[in-house]
Amino acid sequence: MSVRKKASPAVPAAAKSRTSRKKSSDSSRSAASEEPIVEKKTATAPKGTLIIVESPTKARTLTRILGSGYKVKASVGHLKDLPPSKIGVDVDNGYELQFVVSEGKKKVLDEIRQAARGAREIFLASDPDREGEAIAYHIASELTGLKKPIRRVLVHELTPRGIEAALAEPGEIDLHKVDAQKARRALDRIVGYTLSPLLWERVRRGLSAGRVQSVAVRLVCDRENEIRSFVPEEYWTISLSMRPSDPARSASVFTARLDRIAGRKMQIPNAEEARKTVDRIGSEGFRIESLSADEKRRQPSPPLTTSRLQQEGARRFRFSAKKTMQLAQKLYEGVELPGQGQTGLITYMRTDSVRLAPEAQEMARNFIAKAYPQALPPRSPAYRNKKGIQDAHEAIRPTDASRTPDSLEGILDRDLLRVYRLIWQSFLESQMVPARYLLTTVIVEGDKGDTFRATGRRMLDPGFLVLRGEDLRPRKKTDANPEEEDEEKAEEENELPLLHEGEAVEAAAPPESQQHFTEPPPRYNEASLIRELEEKGIGRPSTYATIMTTILDREYVEKKENRFHPTELGETVNRLLVDSFPDLLNVAFTARMEEELDSVEEGEKIYREAVDDFYRPFSRELSKAKGGGMANLKAQSEPTTIPCPVCGTLMVKKWGRHGAYLACGNYPACKTTRNIVETENGPAPEVLPEAAGETCSTCGKPMVVRKGRFGTFLACSDYPACKTTRPWPPKGHSEPPVPLPADIPPCPACGGAMVLKTGRFGSFLSCANYPKCKTTRPLPTGIACTRPGCGGEITPRKGKRGTFYGCSHYPECDRTYPGRPVAKPCPLCGHAFLVEKKSGKRTVISCPEKGCGYESEDGEEPGITA
């Protein structure tokens, strides 16, 4: 085992080993744990203390809490990264990384340097994870020339208590954690910058491969193959409603399910066997063979980790992992609360640990003792982390348990409140007593040896379930609930009537038989795919949201009814990668690499060894693939049974810039191509719709609607023999371009009529004599400019920031407006028109006259802005 002991020469004062930093962090937690959970201001700092964080929101929260003694600046994420135009990893020189200032971050870095020059001391308070440690390292490397104290602080919760604890015992930059981030960055860059170009060459441009994302796609594809190869098997179940034979107790009806037939395990494979069994049962007498009642406990789940937060967000609310993490980030960085300002509502949301700090447990106990005293356990429950879990941060929890979700109604928006309620509820439930219920099992035996079983349960103590106001009934099978209850547990929902062992019972209704078929494993949704990645050790919780987003954006998978389905492109790329890169796509190999990255973070393995363990087998596979080991789909043609719609020759499937398509097998004599569409009978060529009444001006044949890079257009149906094309309105328009009303002035160049056309940037006027005359004009709004004596008209124009509206007499008249003019006078000041503009998700109608203040949402009553 080798341990990296060398500190970086760029940051000698700020970067030390993990041991020293951990010691200060532990002492910080110990100090904090001795203090009561109360909000209070931190001690006044000496003038000139600079704190550097990642996000502007976090900076605002810290500024409000710390006051004027501190200056807080935000790096807005990473300031330095590998260059975008080249790999940036020297594989021949110890895998050295070439970091450069990220595009657009030079101004931010200059502002931080300027603030640092006037500071007495500098605290680096980026997020307490690998990425945050790397950000702190890069900032420190840019500031060491100032020769000022630079310290690392780990802020786990943005509250006065949490910030004071962090600043009381600042630590040093953890170089092992920085190395772990560098190793992950190097591995991902090596794969992305070597494998992606190979896919561009062999399949199509724009594709990408990733060390972890490709394994996630493989899981989805493998599950799809399982579903395709699954052969359902038929089976039947039989249930019987029973009651005591005593007429006085005939109202005590219960339902039991056939468990054994003549002492043997029940197996009914078809309808004929089911019918015979029902006939057999119909003539049978029954009695209660045995009764048993056992007390069961349902333990609360541990507090949330990042992975479980993402899974629960997907399961309960159908949130993507990315959305859940964005909402959690906002809750951590701070939300504006009335009378309190910007306030952090939860602790740091990237953690693998289920541990809770002692002060957090005490906070929960105090709240439970007041609100739910019957659910308070004798001592705080403790939860054990899985083997190999990073325990740097405690579980996700609220910063103040007394800040209930109900108290935040109307303050947080709906989605923020849902995530906060999930975190708050999970935290408190984890510190409550288990739920207790009585599980009753009844065995009914027939005189022919057939056995029925009935179960039921009765609540004894709701325990932690009192917090959510739920009983213990199993949830129904839904897509939002991947942990589906089996059919046997569904029987436990009802409480059984009072029965006696040995008493006779009889059928209250004829036996019911029901047909079933075994089902294939379900397709992954976000919750189940994240759970699978976590169980197999693929990726880390902080990367799951990015993985989900990437495989969707790359069109390797698609969502249908909230489930992941592999696309044809995804299955094709997966097949090529599995064949050519068995190690890269191997689940065990990828999991082992994650463990090696963790070993780097723990100081048990050095950076270069971890990267080399991956690169050596990968480079060998890459050489084989480049040498012909990976199929070149661009050069291949896959035969089909689909006839060419022009000449009848069988078409072939090929790959191009935009994916798979069909081409005539008689190429180049026939150059017909078609997009592929999926039909009930399998793949088929796309049928191009004819444009009613439109004929080719060259050959007179019907025109068809085709799609290109810039939208739809008309093309001759005799293509490729005739290549005549014409513009066509985008989707949603049914008529071809027509001349505008007569009051539109003719073309100023040739006198021809102006017609309405649509391009990449919207509608515009074009000369009807195009392409002989290429004159174009903006589409008029019909609203006159309000400048006295101008006589111009407001028209749309293109600028650096998009579309704006201005006078057609520019530059003589330079009046401009930020939104589309609306031909309605202002009801307050009488201005000739209003303007429409977007404000977030709202469309707002307002008066452009300065000082007027009129504003209303589109379709609502007018109002006055403050």
Residues with catalytic roles: 348
**Which amino acid appears at position 180 of this protein?**
A
Strand ranges for 719-860 from DSSP E: 725-727, 754-759, 762-767, 776-777, 794-799, 802-807, 816-817, 820-822, 834-839, 842-846, 854-857
Spatial CA neighbour of 377 closest among 463, 283, 301: 463
Mention every residue, 6+ apart, whose C-beta is less than 8 A from residue 261: 267, 277, 449, 450
Across-strand partners of 758? 763
Rounded Cα distance, 254 and 291, in Å:
14
Q: How is residue 524 written in tokens?
A: 């992954």
Is residue 852 a contact partner of residue 841, using CB atoms and an 8 Å limit? no
Q: Where are the alpha helices (DSSP H) in 203-268?
A: 213-229
130 in Cβ contact with 173 (< 8 Å): no
Q: What is the rounded CA–CA span in Å between residue 351 and residue 353?
A: 6
d(CA 109, CA 115): 10
Task: Report the side by side order of strands in the sheet with 690-695.
Answer: 690-695, 702-708, 711-716, 725-727
Q: How many residues does the chain have?
A: 866
Paired strand residues for 557: 566
* Cα three-residue angle 171-172-178, rounded to 5 degrees: 130
By the 8 A CB rule, do 162 and 28 touch?
no
DSSP one-letter code for 781: -
DSSP state of 625: I
Rounded Cα distance between 288 and 446, Å, is 9
Tell me which residue of 680, 701, 704 sits closest to 690, measured CA to CA: 704
Question: Of 452, 407, 525, 543, which Cα lies nearest the Cα of 261?
Answer: 452
CA distance linking residue 446 with residue 283, whole number of Å: 10
Contacts for 74-77: CB closer than 8 Å, 24+ residues apart: 74/108, 75/105, 75/108, 75/112, 75/126, 75/135, 75/139, 76/105, 76/108, 77/135
Cβ-contact 532, 314 below 8 angstroms: no
Burial track 663-683 (b if 16+ CB lie within 10 A, e otherwise): bbbbbeebebbbebeeeeeee
Of 730, 799, 715, give the one whose Cα is nearest residue 762. 730
Which helix (H) or strand (E) segment is 706 a member of? strand 702-708
What is the rounded distance in angstroms from the CA atom of residue 185 to the CA atom of residue 542? 14
Distance of CA 189 to the CA centre of its chain: 22
Contacts of 745-749 with CB under 8 Å at 24 or more apart are 747/773, 747/775, 748/775, 749/773, 749/775
Cα–Cα distance, 640 to 40 (Å, whole number): 74
The Cα–Cα gap between 64 and 160 comes to 10
Question: How far, CA to CA in Å, does 784 sit from each of 206, 776, 795, 814, 823?
Answer: 47, 20, 9, 14, 10
